[in-house]
Amino acid sequence: MIENLPNWLNILFLIVTAFTLIIFYIANGKPKRLILILIGWTILHSLLSYNGFFLNTQTIPPRFTFVLLPPTILIIYGLNRKSRIWLYENKNLEVSTLLHTIRIFIEIILYYLFLNKMIPELMTFEGRNFDIFAGITAFIIGMLFILGKINDQILLFWNFIGLALILLILTNGILSSELPFQLFAFEQPNRAITYFPYALLPAVIVPIVIYSHISDILVLLHRRK
């Protein structure tokens, strides 16, 4: 774990991670097999990061590949025809939209990590990270959608914007990490993601956010037919 960080920050992050898993489970029709896979994946990465597995950032291929590649494969698999049919029948768009409110707390956590010199400023809302916009608007958009004040088209547009924002911060986070392909933030690189519990951000939370946007977009496009 990162030394000198306040305990409340670690606890807050773990609560946000647990909340993300629970809301994701509810929003996607309570898929038991998928949630068991995600819980197992969370436990695995917790153990690996707690024991310093990701601290060696100079291996070839980078150990960080183990963080990104399996969720990418799972997302692609989760969008196959059979999975899409499940989504069309069981997806709760209202809950899935409200899930993105977690991004407000993630932005607060990232800012404190920056103050503790564990991530670069560009990963915060004072830099190139505009993801807090998605977090703040998620509750507003979600409630308006529940009340029938906005239609599918507006929610679809919001999801495209939210997806672009999370992909932007993901790219900045990877390219500012101490990896062989680091491109910027050499003076204060992204070190937090190699430590427990913050390794769960790219391993668990970000993939869930990305999948939620993509799956919601697919459901909304399907409803337009």
Sign of the CA dihedral with 165 first, then 49, 102, and 70 last = positive
Q: Spell out a b/e string for 64-73, using b for 16 or more CB atoms within 10 Å of the CB, else e.
A: beebbebbee
Q: In this structure, what is the dihedral angle of CA atoms 24, 28, 34, 38, given to the nearest 10 degrees?
A: -10
- pLDDT exceeds cutoff 80 at 194: yes
**Cα-to-chain-centroid distance, residue 218:** 19
> Which pTM value belongs to this model?
0.94
Do residues 138 and 132 lie in contact, with contact meaning Cβ atoms separated by under 8 Å?
Answer: no
Q: DSSP assignment of 118-133, as one string? A: SS-GGGSTTTT--THH
In terms of Cβ atoms closer than 10 Å to its own Cβ (0-12, 13-18, 19+), residue 121 is middle
The domain locations on the chain are 7-223
Residue 83, pLDDT above cutoff 90: no
Question: Is pLDDT above 80 for 181?
Answer: no
Question: What are the pLDDT digits (tens) for 31-44?
Answer: 999 999 999 999 99
Q: What is the mean pLDDT of residues 158-182?
A: 90
Specify the pLDDT at position 53.
92
Is the pLDDT at 86 greater than 80? The verdict is yes
pLDDT category, 19, cuts 50, 70, 90? very high
Q: Is the pLDDT of residue 98 over 80?
A: yes
For residue range 106-156, list pLDDT tens digits in order. Answer: 999 999 999 999 999 999 988 888 999 999 999 999 999 999 999 999 999
pLDDT in tens, 60-81: 788 888 888 899 998 888 888 8
Burial (CB count within 10 angstroms: exposed 0-12, middle 13-18, buried 19+), residue 79: middle
Read off the pLDDT of each residue in 195-200 and give the average, rounded to a whole number. Answer: 95
Residue pair 202/193 in contact by the 8 Å Cβ criterion: yes
